[in-house]
Structure 1
């Protein structure tokens, strides 16, 4: 979390989706954020859902907010994201059965199961020697929205309302979709962002009909007409729980 992060609504929605899907703790590597975001973090800290790791890496290195940091003449990309991912794995190695490695604008959405616990039980049963499960990233552009779930009380909160973005970009044959991961931390020695570099056992590419990464952000295929996008309302399966949970957080944080 860096760059005076202020995507408050999407952050709360992601947190509540993680909880619905079965997460027990979310690790935030925090460089800085807005005052409103601080309020939300304080709420989740007191509730026990979040653990904040102070991440003042820019006090020691010349950092880039991009991955191609060498073009910026900086020392390290994405505020040391790869270091944070490895730290997270080792920090949770003996207290978590699984660690999910993704960003706050990404949600690993199960299609065949209702939550991560049942999905991971099934995947482990089918792949007994594996400790690394890779899920395909799919972009749901913030530039294309639906009038559904336009909730007036949320309009004063800065950030994206993910429930309004249910159109995903189609695959491009010449481009490989990056992956995000759920790992058994005891089987990982070293990780990168989209794959594990050293591990015990094998890695599994999870088919898209089992789960995908819902990634709500600016488009990658900017010139696509709306009719070329694929309407995918998987997220709406959780809408009643998500609405109730997000409203609870907004009410209790006086947002």
Structure 2
């Protein structure tokens, strides 16, 4: 069943990719004169062709000004803090901007404006990235580049926040994930930021500052990210490309093998997209939930909104509400339930391990975007004040985890597998699930 599911999923992604590729063919055909004109524009590093409306997604951390005719910032003087030209920027694996320091190398992924009411005078610009040093003590600086000011505004960064617990694993020379913060006077929104070791450094990075203000009444409760192109195309999710850094091949076959065999390295780098997701949707959603595609938080009654309302009443002002993990193993399928399609794995697998994993182990939860600053996939790492998470009572909700086996480091896996119970809570949503899944399969021509 598991192999069949992966095959169907792979075919789904393949078909949708073909559809997207077909639809993305350029509609404009250019004459020789127009092509020469476009080539000269690219050579002169001025406007891109007017038919190109947006910067491609895979270079979205580059400021738009590089592709526009607006006047650019300049410098402090001829040798100090120069606004970098486009091809002065250094990249690693397309999606990371690189800055070399005296102690190591920074790989910077994205920058974001944080306008939460944390400080009376300041907003903050947050940068997520990797650094091949453990808890660096040296001072760094943000060079803020403004639309209408020639010189950069230079401020001292706060101490780097390691988005990792070193007791989980460490190796010398590995890139570690960090949240880097620079204060910014309220009311001023730079177009971009460069992170440097010394105020006068000429940077080789220049990150566009991501910010999209959402009116409070339009703010939604939750955000979930999945990797199905179909839902990205329909506007329900966003697919963000990312690559590995640190001398690793990004050939799909080698990358997949690396991620399977290098567990620590994978866990260190996967923290970056979690926090990228948090800050890109900071103004849009009140809560974020970090879930893999083989797990879901199921309330015993109702849906997430009602569950969260009850949790906030019983445990107000918590940074996170964490659901305990319980395994629904693949082998716990004595027979198929004829009332549901056989390909709907979660509706068919309703036998689970009798016991949940212990509180705090392998949990997932709802994180309050007003309070959290940095997220690991299981816990908040850093909060505006103290991180104060509460465990959801299993009679209210649980994290249902659908797997072939336990995670490798779970010591009591055999006893988990030996004792099982029937748990049909997910059937509360069966009618809606079946209707929506079949509708999608028909849209993709997998069902008549």
What SS is found at the alignment partner of 2:316?
Answer: coil
Which of the residues 318, 326, 336 maps onto 1:147? 336
Two-structure CA RMSD over aligned residues (Å): 3.2
Matches within 5 A, 1:19-98: 25-28=223-226, 41-57=228-244, 61=248, 64-66=258-260, 69-70=263-264, 76-78=265-267, 80-98=269-287
Residues 93-132 of structure 1 mapped to structure 2, 5 A cutoff: 93-111=282-300, 113-132=301-320
Instruction: Give secondary structure in 2 for the equivalent of 1:80.
Output: helix
Does the CA contact (< 8 Å) of 1:149 and 1:164 recur in 2? no
2:390 — aligned with what? 204
Tell me what 1:35 maps to.
none
Higher RCO (C-alpha under 8 Å, 6+ residues apart): 1
Counterparts in 2 of 1:54 and 1:246: CA distance versus 1, 3 Å: same
Task: Give the alignment's TM-score, normalised by structure 1.
Answer: 0.73
How far does residue 81 in structure 1 lie from its aligned partner after superposition? 2.1
Structure 2 length-normalised TM: 0.43
Work out whether residues 24 and 49 of structure 1, in 8 Å CA contact, stay in contact via their aligned partners in 2. Answer: no
Q: Within 1, Cα distance between the matches of 2:261 and 2:374?
A: 18
Deviation at 1:94, TM superposition (A): 0.9
| Rounded Cα–Cα distance in structure 2 between residues aligned with 1:105 and 1:175 | 20
Query: Alignment partner for residue 349 of structure 2, among 145, 165, 184?
Result: 165
1:194: how far off? 1.7
Three-state SS of the structure 2 residue aligned to 1:77 is: helix
Higher helix proportion (structure 1 or 2): 1
Identify if the C-alpha distance between structure 1 residues 79 and 8 changes in structure 2 by more than 3 Å, giving closer, same or farther: farther
Cα deviations across residues 195-225 of structure 1 (Å, max 9, x unaligned)? Answer: 1111235211111111000111113276569
Unaligned runs of 5+ in 2: 13-219, 250-254, 407-411
Shift of 1:170: 2.6
Deviations 1:164-207 (A, max 9, x none): 11111132788964200111122111222221111235211111
**Shift of residue 245, structure 1, vs aligned partner:** 0.8
Question: Rg: which structure is higher?
Answer: 2
Distance 1:43 1:68, change over 3 A: closer
Q: CA deviation at 1:59?
A: 8.5
